[in-house]
């Protein structure tokens, strides 16, 4: 009998291997971030389909009671559903369990115990074994384990139900700022975690750690910045592993459960736009890495950007799919990227399914920078975002802006998607915002069809030299230096912000008081990391600088000429690395479409269709066809022939025909749905739910809205 069972097991394994693996979400549940551990945001449900989707109506609305008025928003959370229970997060990161059919609250866990909460989390992880079940999610530096039945912390996990993510990175925990905006992934009794590390020169390393679900102890660690004796250590300066940060998995990961392989998409090394302190290819930054999920052993890697100078992170998990090429089934993964490429690799070997060529790119002229001479460019599939901006691409809706934009383009140059940053300003398209971003792609895992939303919104970053020598500036220059080192890359050298993604700090006293900003620096909020690793005195210096309590016109405010500095002490920052190149009215300087939804047939390596995603009401009233908008969040695809997506600034939630790209249904949400939808079934009824947290030029919100058929 034992021998017979063994051969049955072998046969089943071979059968599954021949067809890739069973799609993760075959039934009613949506029990993992993005629907399943294959990260495909796919549902096999078809009760809602092409023929009846126009009948969808609101089934229920749930409002998070901890966030009201101006304090609402934002939510980027993808809820999970197990049985009748839906687990979701509020804008202030309270964890709720509700009835997935009625939205009745079952329990609530408050990690801040009634005090003011803040942060950002796009998803949670679920583990179960027998009658036990846990929700694992991060709040700031803390990783919590919560009993899924009661909402109480698991006292056996870490200290009182939580572990500190600052520990276990090989550096002083008090000097680090680590959180996790995307969830870890569960494999057996391990929770494999990435992290958000910050963007500055003092960022924490992005090592990936596997935690024991029962105890919270670290079972294994993979060093994304390799240490001496480890593969890849020679792609960095000798001592870089001690001080360099980033190369982190901030967008989530995917897992092949049958092969027990976890796939890590890493971001850039810090600092994002200058690498004078990290000469070399910089493995494992900007890599797709395959690890043995049990041990953390590296099986293979593929680097998508060498020595990144553009913040071209891999911002989301790769999709695990099966495609057919030249009559052969291939178990593949598809990784979308900020730079608009799709990298299609063999899941077991890491070899490209379609050719990827190393092509020469322009060299950087920044002092101390040694840029990499070539970059990998997929021959197929074609990019989903635009990667060039010429005179022919100027926004025809605003002819009066043409001379201004032409002059900017001429000064910036536009040789390649890998146009290096410069002090004069260098055009980037898609730019550091993407292309693709954290919402990632949805896929039909067996048909090899991929759906990705993206931007076509150029940026024009401009680099500025600073000195890394504190003593040179003296105490009077220290507040300015602290601001520039920690804040200016996002909020701008002159505190002007980068609309609409990052707010300005000018006249901040009209919106916040000093104590509120001090709390924000300590705890973080939304996309802003915590700066708790800075001393309270230094955080106060930053606040004084922001609130004009030091002399801004002092000699220390003069722009430093890099030629006057020792090359070893030069650091560059981007004054506006995330600011868009817009017309005077706020529309992109490039012609539409500005946001798109693209369908790929990855069996052929071709685009099946591409349509604008989103529109501006004021332009529609002028008779202008949909232009697309900035979009944040991702799609979900179903066996009913539909692609569901919100994401757009027009606050709409839409269902597209997955075969043609035609809009079959749309409805206005209470505010922007900048999240990814979840699809599930309870008591034979199918639902689709979306978080409405707003901001990004839409009103703040605190709601989840579910739709179903009458």
Q: How many helices (H) and strands (E) does the chain have?
A: 8, 36
147-162 pLDDT, tens digit per residue, is 999 999 999 999 999 9
Measured distance CA(201)–CA(225) in Å, rounded: 15
User: 346-398: per-residue pLDDT in tens?
Assistant: 999 999 999 999 999 999 999 999 999 999 999 999 999 999 887 788 876 66
473 has a pLDDT exceeding 80: no
* Residues β-bridged to residue 224: none
Q: Residue 475 pLDDT > 80, yes or no?
A: no
The percentage of residues in the chain with a pLDDT greater than 70, rounded to a whole number, is 85
The Cα–Cα gap between 265 and 222 comes to 13
Locate 471 and state its tokens.
């003593």
Please provide residue 393's backbone torsions phi and psi, each rounded to the nearest 5 degrees: -95, 5
Asked whether residue 24 carries a pLDDT value surpassing 90, the answer given is no
- Per residue in 643-689, pLDDT (tens digit) is 999 999 999 999 999 999 999 999 999 999 999 999 999 999 999 99
Cα gap 520→542, rounded to integer Å: 12
Give the relative orientation of helices 536-546 and 514-523 as an angle to the nearest 10 degrees. Answer: 130
pLDDT in tens, 495-532: 766 655 567 788 777 777 877 788 777 766 655 667 77
Q: Residue 141's closest CA among 111, 114, 97?
A: 111
**pLDDT on residue 698:** 85
Q: Are strands 42-43 and 636-638 parallel, antiparallel or unpaired?
A: parallel
Say what the pLDDT of residue 529 is: 67
pLDDT for the residue numbered 472 = 36
- For the record, the structure tokens of 523 come out as 């705890």
Residue pLDDT, tens place only, 435-452: 999 999 999 999 999 999
The pLDDT score that the predictor gives to residue 14 is 36
Predicted local distance difference test score (pLDDT) of residue 493: 65
| Whether the Cβ atoms of residue 669 and residue 705 lie closer than 8 Å to each other | yes
Helix (H, G, I), strand (E, B) or coil at 589: coil
Q: pLDDT band at residue 549, thresholds of 50, 70 and 90?
A: confident
Determine if residue 173 is left, alpha or beta; phi over 0 gives left, psi from -120 to 50 gives alpha, anything else beta. alpha
Q: Which of 5, 249, 31 is nearest to 126 (CA)?
A: 31
- pLDDT value of residue 565: 61
- For the segment 595-608, the average pLDDT, to the nearest whole number, is 98
DSSP, collapsed to helix, strand or coil, labels residue 256 as: strand
Residues 163-218 pLDDT 10s: 999 999 999 998 888 999 999 999 999 999 999 998 888 899 999 999 999 999 99
* Confidence (pLDDT) at 19: 46
Q: How far apart are CA 234 and CA 226, in angstroms?
A: 9
CA distance 516 to 454: 34
Residues near 412 by Cβ (< 8 Å), separated by ≥ 6? 419, 424, 425, 426, 427, 460
- CA-wise closest residue to 595 among 574, 580, 577: 580
Residue 161 to residues 60, 151, 334, Cα–Cα distance (Å): 32, 11, 36
pTM: 0.89
The rounded distance, in Å, linking the Cα atoms of 264 and 251 is 9
Domains of the chain: 123-317 (2.40.128.630), 463-574 (1.10.760.10)
Rounded to an integer, what distance in angstroms lies between the CA atom of residue 64 and that of residue 155? 26
Mean of per-residue pLDDT scores for the chain: 87
Spatial contact of 708 and 690, defined as CB atoms under 8 Å apart: no
Q: What pLDDT score does 1 carry? A: 36
């Amino acid at each position: 009998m034992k021998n017979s069972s063994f051969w049955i097991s072998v046969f089943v394994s071979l059968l599954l291997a021949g067809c890739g693996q069973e799609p993760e979400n075959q039934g009613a549940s949506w029990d993992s971030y993005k629907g399943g551990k294959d990260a495909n945001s796919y549902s096999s449900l078809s009760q809602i389909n092409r023929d009846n989707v126009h009948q969808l109506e609101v089934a229920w609305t749930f409002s998070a009671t901890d966030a009201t008025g101006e304090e609402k928003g934002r939510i980027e959370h993808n809820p999970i559903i197990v049985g009748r229970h839906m687990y979701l997060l509020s804008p202030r990161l309270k964890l709720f369990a509700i009835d997935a059919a009625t939205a009745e609250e079952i329990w609530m866990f408050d990690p801040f115990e009634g005090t003011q909460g803040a942060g950002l989390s796009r998803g949670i992880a679920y583990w179960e074994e027998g009658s036990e079940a846990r929700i694992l999610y991060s709040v700031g530096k803390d990783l919590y384990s919560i009993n899924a039945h009661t909402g109480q912390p698991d006292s056996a996990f870490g200290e009182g139900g939580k572990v500190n993510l600052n520990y276990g990175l090989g550096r002083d925990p008090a000097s680090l700022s680590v959180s996790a905006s995307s969830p870890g992934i569960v494999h057996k009794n391990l929770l494999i975690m990435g992290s958000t590390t910050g963007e500055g020169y003092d960022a924490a390393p992005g090592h990936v750690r596997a935690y024991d679900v029962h105890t919270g102890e670290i079972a294994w660690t993979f060093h994304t910045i390799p240490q001496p004796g480890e593969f890849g250590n020679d792609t960095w300066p000798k001592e870089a592993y001690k001080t360099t940060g980033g190369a982190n998995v901030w967008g989530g990961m995917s897992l092949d459960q049958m092969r027990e392989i976890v796939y890590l998409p890493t971001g850039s090394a810090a600092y994002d736009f200058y690498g004078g302190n990290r000469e070399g290819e910089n493995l494992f930054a900007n890599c797709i890495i395959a690890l043995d999920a049990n041990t953390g052993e590296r099986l293979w890697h593929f680097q998508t950007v060498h020595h990144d100078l553009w913040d071209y992170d891999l911002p989301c998990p790769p999709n695990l799919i099966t495609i057919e090429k030249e009559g052969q089934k291939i178990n593949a993964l598809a990784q979308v990227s900020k730079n608009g490429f799709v990298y299609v690799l063999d899941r077991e070997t890491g070899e490209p399914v379609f050719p990827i060529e190393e092509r020469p790119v322009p060299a950087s002229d920044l002092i101390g920078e040694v840029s990499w001479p070539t970059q990998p460019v997929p021959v197929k599939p074609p990019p989903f975002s635009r990667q060039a901006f010429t005179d022919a691409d100027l926004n025809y809706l605003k002819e009066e802006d043409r001379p201004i934009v032409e002059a900017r383009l001429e000064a910036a140059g536009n040789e390649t998607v890998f146009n290096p940053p410069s002090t004069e300003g260098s055009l980037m398209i898609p730019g550091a915002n993407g292309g693709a971003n954290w919402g990632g792609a949805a896929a039909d895992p067996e048909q090899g069809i991929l759906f990705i939303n993206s931007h076509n919104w150029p940026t024009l970053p401009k680099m500025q030299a600073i000195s890394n020598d504190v003593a040179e500036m003296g105490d009077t220059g220290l507040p300015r230096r602290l601001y520039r080192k920690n804040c200016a890359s996002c909020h701008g050298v002159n505190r002007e912000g980068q609309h609409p993604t990052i707010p300005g700090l000018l006249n901040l006293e009209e919106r916040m008081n000093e104590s509120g900003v001090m709390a924000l620096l300590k705890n973080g909020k939304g996309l802003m990391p915590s700066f708790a690793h800075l001393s309270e005195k230094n955080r106060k210096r930053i606040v004084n600088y922001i609130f004009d309590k030091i002399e801004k016109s002092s000699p220390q405010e003069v722009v430093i000429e890099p030629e006057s500095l020792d090359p070893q002490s030069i650091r560059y920052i981007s004054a506006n690395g995330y600011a868009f190149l817009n017309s005077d009215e706020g529309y992109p300087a490039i012609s539409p479409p500005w946001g798109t939804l693209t369908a790929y047939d990855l069996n052929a390596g071709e685009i099946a269709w591409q349509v604008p995603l989103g529109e501006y009401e004021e332009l529609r009233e002028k008779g202008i066809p949909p232009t697309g908008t900035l979009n944040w969040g991702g799609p979900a695809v179903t066996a009913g022939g539909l692609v569901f997506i919100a994401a757009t600034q027009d606050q709409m939630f839409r269902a597209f025909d997955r075969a043609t790209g035609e809009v079959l249904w749309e409805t206005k949400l209470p505010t922007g749905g900048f999240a990814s939808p979840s699809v599930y079934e309870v008591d034979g009824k199918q639902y689709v739910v979306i978080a409405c947290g707003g901001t990004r030029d839409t009103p703040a919100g605190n709601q989840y809205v579910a739709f179903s058929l009458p």
